[in-house]
Structures are given as structure tokens and as C-alpha cells.
Amino acid sequence: MHVLWHISDLNENSHTNRDDIMRYAYDARTDVRLAAAASATFGVVPTEPTEQLRVAHLDADAFYVSVELLRRPELRGLPVVVAGSGPRAVVTTASYEARRFGVFSAMPAARARRLCPQAVFLPPDFAVYREHSARMMGIVRRHVERVESIGLDEAYLDLEGFHSPRAAMRRIVAEIRSETGLVCSVGIGPNKLVAKVASDAEKPAGFVVLTREHACERFAHASPGLVPGIGPKTAAKLADMGLTTLRALALASERELMERFGSNHGRDLVRRARFESDGAVSQERKVVSESRERTFDYDVAETATLEAELESMSEKLCASLAAHRRAGRTIAIKVRLDDFSTVTRARTIEAPTCDARVVGAVALALLREYAPPRPVRLLGVRVAGLVAEGADSAEAQAAQMALPL
């Protein structure tokens, strides 16, 4: 049995902060007498938390810019933007000084330059970002056994069994800052959904702890788009139904939502609005597909150029698949035209492959069959239904069946 203080210690140390005593009493979770003793000492009746704090979401603030500032400390305090240099480049991330001018991630770099012409623009250096990410995640894994990495700069942490989730996360954040210079925001909650929204709530250097009920109260008047899994298009459709807040969505008719969005998605929208989620923290994220795509600096109409680019991307994609010993049966292309209309075409072959000659030939055939009617803005190739290279046909078929429709 784990306790943080003996019961007798509570009376001997009554000067200890009352809130800390009550908090640690609950964080211990294994000795109800501790909470009872805290109640007797301070003359208060504790309210049992309705849910445990099981999950943390850790997010490095403005990660790419933060890494660049570690390399170029003379830029601190200035608006800094990490972005490509092409005419169709987008912002990878922006410092908080740049964000005050309306510059945000995924914005066209040309627009960012108009909004903040005095900003320092730096090209992305992903090799260096991966090094810093590895150091940060290494620190996290020193403390937490089950960690689900989401990209280079964020992760979910399984806090089940920790005596004090808050104290544990504060130690991790402090060590990351001390050893790497990176500042992180943290959200802690009963599930991944609450933890993620909490970590975004008070950036930078935020530290927010919420139960599901508190999340519902705090974000009741926020747009449904605040919640992961509810994108702009879905939020717009909800607004057409008069559902412009999370509270309204949480109280909405599930039947009407199912009629509009389908049975599964309709039910899921209500659950997300109520911050209900049963997704566990997973150490391994199952990869079901891998792709390569390119947005051209200028629209391309020449068939030979498109085919050469598609062959090149197929080779790079298959080299990556082979390096990770993966293969797939479904080969697809993605074509975005100059009017932003997007078309996908796919074909499933008999056996999984990571052979660039096979993938390239199928991709080229799909492109020729489609014959883009307008100049192409973006071109991509994807291999899906991935299994371990050499997997038998039964496993490959099971992976194929698991693909989303």
C-alpha cells in the first residue's frame, strides 16, 4: 500500500498547505483513511473526484521555432517564422511574437510575409528537429513507461498508478526545460480528449488539470471545432443546424445528428462534445498506409513532367517501406487541380509489395486513366493496407479490411 504521509504526520504537520494535503490524499488513491484524516485535521469534507487523472498530453510550445531559437538565441523576442521558400510554401510554425500579427501554422508563407514583413523567416531543418525530439522523448520515457508519440513535438502519457500525476508531470517538464531548453505545455485528465484540449488551453508553458465535468463547464461556450476530431467542415455543418457551442452539441438530439452525419459519426460527435473517450494510450501507433506528395511551385500541365514526378515519388516511398519492412496491396494516387478540386484513384493488387517498379507502374496507369483535364497543383502516391514484409495473404487481407472506407 502506498501512502504519502502517515496519518499521524498530518496532525504533527498541520501547517502543511491544506489543498496539497487534500490533493495528495486523492492522488495516493490507495488509503481512504488518509483523506479522512485530512478532513478531520482541516475541518472539511472532501468531495470524491468522479474520475481519476489517468492521461497527460505533453506538447512542446512552438517546437520548430523553439529549436531554431536555441541555435540562434539572438532572435529571441523577434517574430520568427519557420517556412519553406517556394511560392506555395506554408508556415511550419511561428513564434508567439509572430502570432500576434496573425501568422499561424499551415498559412501560406506569402500571406505570412504580408502580415508580418519584419519577421525573420527560416527554412525548416527536420534532421535537427528530430534530434531534439528524441532527446525530449527520452526524458519523458525515463519517467513514464507507456508513451504514445504524436509527431515530433507531442505525446500522450499513461499516468495510471502515479501517486501524484501533477507532481510527476511538473518534474518531467522541469527536466525537459533544464536539459533541452524546450518549454512544454501540459494537460492532465481522465482521457486523451480532455488531456489534449487542456494542454492547448493556456499556452505557452500551460499546466491545466481537468476532470471531464470541469472540461464540459470550462469549454461549454467554445466552438465544437475546439475538440479534436471535429474539423472545420463538420463544424460548419453543425452551425447550419444551430449547434455553435459544445454545450449545444452535447445536448443535441442524437437521432438528428445520426440522420445528418451517419450513425457512427453522429454518436461520436455527441460523445466528443461531452469529452467522453475510451481510447487508451498506446505505445505503438499502427501504420496502415504511407504516402508521398508534392505541391508544385507552379501548376503543371505537361504529362511527361507529371509522370516523371510520380515515378520519383514512388521510388522514395518504396525505399521507406522497404527500410521499415512494410508492404501493401492498395496503390493510390492523389491529384489536385489548379481549381483546387481533388481526385483520388486506387487499385488493389494480388499480393503486398514495396517494389518501386510495381508501385510506379500501377500509379502511372492510374494517372494515365484519369488524364487530368486541367493543370495539376499537387500530385501524390500512396500504398495502403500495410503489413510486415513477407506477411501471408490472410494477414494482408485482414489489414485491407481494416482500412477506412
Residue owning grid cell 506538447: 59
Which of the two residues, 10 and 232, has the higher pLDDT score?
Answer: 232
Report yes or no on 82 lying in a domain. yes
Predicted local distance difference test score (pLDDT) of residue 283: 73
The answer to whether residues 326 and 206 belong to one domain is no
The whole-angstrom separation of Cα 336 and Cα 187 is: 37
Report yes or no on 143 lying in a domain. yes
Confidence of residue 391 (pLDDT cuts 50, 70, 90): low
The answer to whether residues 80 and 147 belong to one domain is yes
Q: Which three cell numbers stand for residue 3?
A: 501512502
Do 354 and 329 touch, CB atoms closer than 8 A? no
Report yes or no on 319 lying in a domain. yes
Q: What is the 3-state secondary structure (H, E, C) of the chain?
A: CCCCCCHHHHHHCCCCCHHHHHHHHHHHCCCHHHHHHHHHHHCCCCCCCCCCCCEEEEEECCHHHHHHHHHCHHHCCCCEEEECCCCCCEEEEECHHHHCCCCCCCCEHHHHHHHCCCCEEECCCHHHHHHHHHHHHHHHHHHCCCEEEECCCEEEEECCCCCCHHHHHHHHHHHHHHHHCCCEEEEEECCHHHHHHHHHHCCCCCEEECCHHHHHHHCCCCCHHHCCCCCHHHHHHHHHCCCCCHHHHHCCCHHHHHHHHCHHHHHHHHHHHCCCCCCCCCCCCCCCEEEEEEEEEEEECCHHHHHHHHHHHHHHHHHHHHHCCEEEEEEEEEEEECCCCEEEEEEEEEEEECCHHHHHHHHHHHHHHHCCCCCEEEEEEEEECCEECCCCHHHHHHHHHCCCC
Could you tell me the CA-to-CA distances from 290 to 31, 148, 161 in Å, in that order? 48, 19, 35
The answer to whether residues 60 and 168 belong to one domain is yes
The whole-angstrom separation of Cα 99 and Cα 250 is: 31
The whole-angstrom separation of Cα 334 and Cα 364 is: 12
255 pLDDT more than 70: yes
Q: CATH number of the domain at 245, please.
A: 1.10.150.20
The answer to whether residues 13 and 84 belong to one domain is no
The answer to whether residues 206 and 309 belong to one domain is no
The whole-angstrom separation of Cα 287 and Cα 289 is: 6
Predicted local distance difference test score (pLDDT) of residue 52: 76
> Domain residues for 82?
49-218
Mean per-residue pLDDT for 51-61? 89
The answer to whether residues 27 and 57 belong to one domain is no
Confidence of residue 278 (pLDDT cuts 50, 70, 90): confident
The answer to whether residues 139 and 266 belong to one domain is no
Report yes or no on 360 lying in a domain. yes
Phi, psi of 107 (to 5 degrees): -75, 145
Report yes or no on 12 lying in a domain. yes
Report yes or no on 99 lying in a domain. yes
Report yes or no on 31 lying in a domain. yes
The whole-angstrom separation of Cα 369 and Cα 362 is: 11
Do 281 and 165 touch, CB atoms closer than 8 A? no
Closest CA to 78 of 44, 121, 36: 121
Closest CA to 56 of 170, 163, 156: 156
Report yes or no on 246 lying in a domain. yes
Predicted local distance difference test score (pLDDT) of residue 288: 83
Degrees (nearest 5) of the Cα angle 141, 146, 152? 60
The answer to whether residues 33 and 55 belong to one domain is no
How many distinct structural domains can be found in the chain?
Answer: 4
The answer to whether residues 212 and 254 belong to one domain is no
Q: Which three cell numbers stand for residue 33?
A: 483513511
Catalytic site positions: 154
Closest CA to 93 of 116, 73, 63, 113: 63
Predicted local distance difference test score (pLDDT) of residue 280: 86
The answer to whether residues 180 and 257 belong to one domain is no
Q: CATH number of the domain at 379, please.
A: 3.30.1490.100
Least confident of 45-54, 81-90, 131-140, 222-231: 45-54
The number of residues in the chain equals 405
Do 197 and 227 touch, CB atoms closer than 8 A? yes
Predicted local distance difference test score (pLDDT) of residue 6: 33
Predicted local distance difference test score (pLDDT) of residue 22: 40
Q: CATH number of the domain at 71, please.
A: 3.30.70.270
Mean per-residue pLDDT for 159-164? 91
Predicted local distance difference test score (pLDDT) of residue 287: 73
398: Cα separation from own chain's centroid: 26
The answer to whether residues 167 and 54 belong to one domain is yes
The answer to whether residues 137 and 88 belong to one domain is yes
